[in-house]
Amino acid sequence: MLRGAARLLRVSAAGDAGAARSALESRGCAVVSVEQHREQGRFFERVVFDAGNGLDAGALEAALAPDAVTIRAADERPRLAVFAGKEPGCLEELLERSRTGELRADVAGVLSNHATLAPLAADYGVPFHCFGGEDMEAAQLARLAELRVDVVALARYMQILGPAFCEAYAGRALNVHHSLLPAFPGARPYDAAWARGVKLIGATAHYVTEELDGGPIVAQAALPAPHALSVRDLRRAGAAAERSVLADAVAAHVDRRVLIAGSRCVVFAGP
């Protein structure tokens, strides 16, 4: 039984804009805010409400069928695993936001193919797991299952994940790429940006799919790139954007503000 503040996400082909509100209010819930969006013949909705003394969320989801509906308590804290490489910035941002409560998720573990960031994880009291070898991804998937992970963040993890991972965590794994996708996917995007003389650089957080750097985009940030900046300057300037963009995207996901719409994302403002 659901009690107190909660959030409802809904995708509908029929697009009855008042269906969720009516269903909630008829069950004694107080609707706080409603955000709605239509595109390509579908209706997307996010409702923040107070369930009062109790709501059977499963029964309400069934009542709104065939619409795709998920209902979760606002204070729910999903279990987050972070895949990290050697650079600390993005990992540190996620750990710090989780510690302060700005990110409503509990970091269940840090996974890496290098031991470089083990001390950083230890500083936050988070288990660190290092993997290597031919069966690395299978071992990582097994560890994620042991940790009961709900969502995965790739914090400058510089390995390509295979089909098994992409299938297991479809719509639940987010990556940060250090360019304004779809420009400059793949390796060394700052070098490519400098070579093309672009006047804006940035970072992109997107859902992980089998297409390299091709998943639905959740968040982006852009920075000016004057001609006098070197590749090293671009890399240094972009690091801050990478940190904030990934953390913002993970926050949007765990706050139930994102609905995937094919190759796009609908990202509601909140709260």
Count of C-beta atoms within a 10 Å radius of residue 232? 10
Q: Output the CA angle 177-194-241, nearest 5 degrees.
A: 35
Consecutive H or E run containing 151: strand 151-155
126 and 95 Cβ atoms separated by less than 8 Å: yes
- CA–CA gap between residue 128 and residue 122 (Å, rounded): 7
Contact 175, 169 (CB under 8 A): no
Helix, strand, coil % in the chain, rounded to nearest 5? 30, 30, 40
Amino acid at 268: F
Which one of the listed residues 67, 150, 213, 255 is annotated catalytic?
213
Please state at what angle helix 231-254 crosses helix 89-100, rounded to 10 degrees.
Answer: 30
> Known catalytic residue: 150?
no
Angle among Cα 124, 88, 233 to the nearest 5 degrees reads: 150
As given in the structure block, the two tokens for residue 225 are 């790139």
Which residues are marked as active site?
Answer: 213
